[in-house]
Chains A and B, each alone.
Chain A
Amino acid sequence: MSSAIKLLGHIGAVTRLSGRTFKIVFSRRFVDRSLLSAQMDQAGIGSWSIAVLTALFTGAVMAIQFADGLEPYGASLYTGKMVSLGIVRELGPTLTAVLVGGRVGAGFTAEIGSMNVTEQVDAISALGADPIEKLVAPRVVACIIMLPLLTLLADFVGCFGAMLVVMTDVGVTATFFIEQVLDTLVVADLIHGLAKATFFGYFIAIVGCYVGLNTRGGTEGVGRSTTDTVVAISITVLVSNFLLTKLFLSF
């Protein structure tokens, strides 16, 4: 019961933080491109290898499973259809968000959390600036931009991994595979996936920053917060994925 109240409290606080962040983002105050590009670099460029590795092997493994499962029906030729749909609609956005989110969100929490316990966040205010503008806004914008891009990359690489498996195991040509994929996927699939990724990007950044800003208790507190963030982000991504999927498919 009390943990439910706590959860509601956190959700309320995150909503307020989001409100203040977007107010800054959409006002002319948010002009600090150097902060933004630093964050995009860290969040996006620093994460592409995780996204690629995850997608490559997930795509490959799904291809093996589907090829095997479809075999009794003589349908392994159509593995590409199934796998590409699964990757573009679900696994691309979700897996990328969980893995990249763990890395990036934990990084945000550790960074902002240590600044908080060493009074650097207070110092930002004391010196006449706004911690939300300096710390939260650039990270939120960076993640909202980078997550869809990483997801797009993951989609491609995932399908590529699947293609390699289908070509060797089932023996279709690359052209056949690509044709099948293009035949199956419609633009809406891609857009749904990328829209979800945009939301995930926002969740990752805002949760990472929120936990960081509420870190207390020295270095030990930073450690605890970082773990909390990874858990919170994974759960947020998975639960919101369910809700967002429902929402998007109802259109």
Chain B
Amino acid sequence: MPDETTQPAPPTPPEVVIEFKDVRKAFGPNVIYDPLNLSVYRGETLTVIGGSGKGKSVLLKMLIRLLQVDSGSIQCFGEEVTTMPEGKLLGLRRRIAMLFQGAALFDSLTVAQNIKYPLVEHKWGNREQMDHRVEEVLEMVGMPGIQHLKPSELSGGMKKRVGLARAIAIQPDVILYDEPTTGLDPLNVRRINGLILRLQRRLNVTSVVVTHDMDSCFTITDRIAFLYERRMDWTGTKEAALATDFPPLREFVQGGRGTLEAEGTED
């Protein structure tokens, strides 16, 4: 009876927090979405998989309007993103944080200043509270005590983790992860995956994760959305993804599992 906490939430009618409806996007002749339809439910972790250069990063950027759609609608917390006035956009970006693919740390600022950046912009607290928060999130990503370093002194994997620290500093409701574990060693992959799970389970954060790393995907995800041929037609649970008979997805998923099994047989 008591051990209900480890069980995933029962399937009450899920509340949609993010919805892409008939979103079309092209860069000149380069058509990316034709069209995109996708829903993300509150508290879930949705993983977006798909080939390189197919528009996964573009999807995340459209969601916080770093890129504008050509047509269609994006609803977020019940509000239309595509036509939102500038002033409201700030509030949206307070609630949705993004970890960029290349971390996108500001080269001219120290690690501490980088992490404080959103805190300062959103007037999050006083100086002491901010310093404390910086310490806290660096601890969470497993890199305590590096406040004074410059991004140029960090490795790619370290940058990524500082980028993650910066994204979660403001305690967002939704976190967009653009390839959070790419370029990390296995230990840190586990740590970041653990962190993503923890944020979701404890704080009920909704996550959208873009990744090529199928191991991580199956560890952290509730649902998978497969981007194929400029659409996101296949979405489903990870179990369904494993059992799929949709050939392109099968290939994608088996590719990931294939390496797992090969490693397994070597032991």
- A residues near B (Cβ < 8 Å) are 115, 118-120, 122-123, 125-129
Contact = CB atoms under 8 A, between A and B. Distances in A.
9 contacts: A125-B93, A126-B66, A126-B93, A126-B97, A127-B117, A127-B121, A128-B90, A128-B93, A129-B121
A62 B117 CA distance: 52
Contacts of B64: 125-126
A118 B104 contact: yes
A127 B94 CA distance: 7
Nearest to B106: A120
B233 interface: no
A126 B107 CA distance: 16
Given A120-B107, A125-B66, A127-B166, 5 more contacts: A120-B106, A126-B66, A126-B93, A126-B98, A128-B118
Contacts of A115: 106-107
Contacts of B20: none
Given A125-B66, A127-B117, A120 B93 contact: no
B117 A129 contact: yes
Nearest to A117: B102
Contacts of B122: 128
Interface of B: 61, 64, 66, 90, 93-94, 97-98, 100-102, 104-107, 117-118, 121-122, 166
A118 B121 contact: no
A127 B100 contact: no
Contacts of A125: 64, 66, 93
B72 to A, nearest CB: 21
B66 A122 contact: yes
A15 to B, nearest CB: 19
B84 to A, nearest CB: 13
A123 B104 contact: yes
The 4 closest A-B pairs by CB, nearest first: A128-B121, A123-B104, A119-B104, A127-B118
Contacts of B61: 122
Contacts of B101: 119
A120 B102 CA distance: 9
Contacts of A129: 117, 121
B154 to A, nearest CB: 14
Contacts of A122: 61, 66, 100, 104
A120 B114 CA distance: 11
A129 B93 CA distance: 10
B102 A127 contact: no
Contacts of A126: 64, 66, 93, 97-98, 100
A128 B94 contact: yes
B100 A119 contact: yes
B106 A123 contact: yes
B205 to A, nearest CB: 16
Contacts of B94: 128
Contacts of A128: 90, 93-94, 118, 121-122
Nearest to A129: B121
A6 B166 CA distance: 39
Nearest to A126: B98
Nearest to A125: B66
A17 to B, nearest CB: 15
A129 B89 CA distance: 10
Nearest to B163: A123
A115 B94 CA distance: 22
Contacts of A118: 102, 104
Contacts of A119: 100-102, 104
A125 B117 CA distance: 11
A159 to B, nearest CB: 39
A120 B106 CA distance: 6
A113 to B, nearest CB: 13
A120 B61 CA distance: 13
B138 to A, nearest CB: 17
A128 B102 CA distance: 19
A119 B160 CA distance: 13
A230 to B, nearest CB: 23
A128 B166 CA distance: 12
A123 B117 CA distance: 10
B213 to A, nearest CB: 20
Nearest to B89: A125
Contacts of B100: 119, 122-123, 126
Q: Which has the most chain A C-beta neighbours within 10 Å: B98, B104, B105?
A: B104
A57 B213 CA distance: 62
B150 to A, nearest CB: 14
Contacts of B98: 126
A120 B163 CA distance: 11
A108 to B, nearest CB: 14
